[in-house]
Chain A
Amino acid sequence: MTITREALETIRAHAERGYPFEICGLLVGKLVEDERRIHEAWPIENAWEADPEERARLLASLGKGPDSKSAEEWDAYGEGRRFLVSPRDVMLAMKRARSLQMDLLGVYHTHPNHPAIPSGFDRDAASPGWSYIIASVIDGKVAACRSWELEETGKQFLEEEVRILD
């Protein structure tokens, strides 16, 4: 995948502003011959705490992976460790992206004081066909930014090469 330096800067600034909480946003751009080209990053409200009904519906649907935990265990963390983009925000962003002749191609979120590697919950909640950028934020500063894609089997994440475009 490729990403513009401007989009990466948006993610960095959002990540550091939101520390020590997890923040999230959507990646928007164009799909060209199976390559996701991210032009913009759109910060989105983390709905994990704000939308308990949607959170409950999501948790009820999980539990497909080999190291899955119960909904209660996944729910034991707040916005320091979890993020949720509500379907309504996904729908509105999808329409806005299309009006700009672009597409919704992925999502970004932070791991405060943890590495930029997908967690078990990331894997459990992920869908194939998206880029998942994870920014590791250590002591308030972005230390690493890596992108991952879920295998179509849904069993594991594979790291994507990220090329930054000026």
Chain B
Amino acid sequence: MPRVEIPPGLATFAGGQQEFELPGATVQEVLRALNEQFPELGSHLLRPDGSLRSYVNAYVNDADIRSLAQLPTPVASSDTLTLVPSIAGG
């Protein structure tokens, strides 16, 4: 199964885990599994329709999915999907 990584600050919404495996053959399927397994984490990262919130980026290995095939980007068992928000203030 693909591996998912999230920042430590969000681990509290995933049972304390920063890395875990989830089933899915595309980014969208993995995100759907994430929302089912960790609904609280899902609410931080995803819109109600299951797409990523605008300030959250997804990387398959080191590549932004916007430069790949967006949510339908295929993921293999050996891939790592990293989900990170931008950080801002002022």
8 contacts between A and B (CB under 8 A): A54-B86, A60-B54, A61-B55, A82-B90, A90-B84, A91-B57, A94-B82, A125-B87
A128 within 8 A of B: yes
Q: How far is the CB of B90 from chain A (nearest CB, A)?
A: 4
Interface SS of chain A: helix, strand, loop or mixed?
mixed
A103 within 8 A of B: yes
Interface size class on chain A is 35 or more
Q: How far is the CB of B41 from chain A (nearest CB, A)?
A: 11
Task: Give A95 to B55 CA distance when docked, in angstroms.
Answer: 19
A57: chain B residues within 8 A (beta carbon): 54-55, 86
B11 within 8 A of A: yes
Q: 20 more A-B contacts (CB under 8 A) besides A58-B88, A122-B90, A129-B8?
A: A57-B86, A61-B53, A84-B86, A85-B86, A85-B88, A87-B57, A88-B64, A91-B59, A94-B5, A95-B82, A103-B18, A104-B9, A109-B89, A119-B90, A125-B87, A125-B90, A127-B87, A128-B9, A129-B7, A132-B89
B62: chain A residues within 8 A (beta carbon): 91-92
B9 touches A130 (CB 8 A): yes
Task: Give A64 to B84 CA distance when docked, in angstroms.
Answer: 20
* A residues 124-145 touching B (CB-CB < 8 Å): 125-130, 132
Closest to B44 in A: A127
B70 within 8 A of A: no
Task: Give A129 to B44 CA distance when docked, in angstroms.
Answer: 12
A83 touches B90 (CB 8 A): yes
B72 within 8 A of A: no
**A91 and B10 in contact, given A61-B55, A109-B89 (Cβ under 8 angstroms):** no
Task: Give A130 to B9 CA distance when docked, in angstroms.
Answer: 5
A158 within 8 A of B: no
**A90 and B86 in contact, given A58-B54, A127-B9, A128-B9 (Cβ under 8 angstroms):** yes
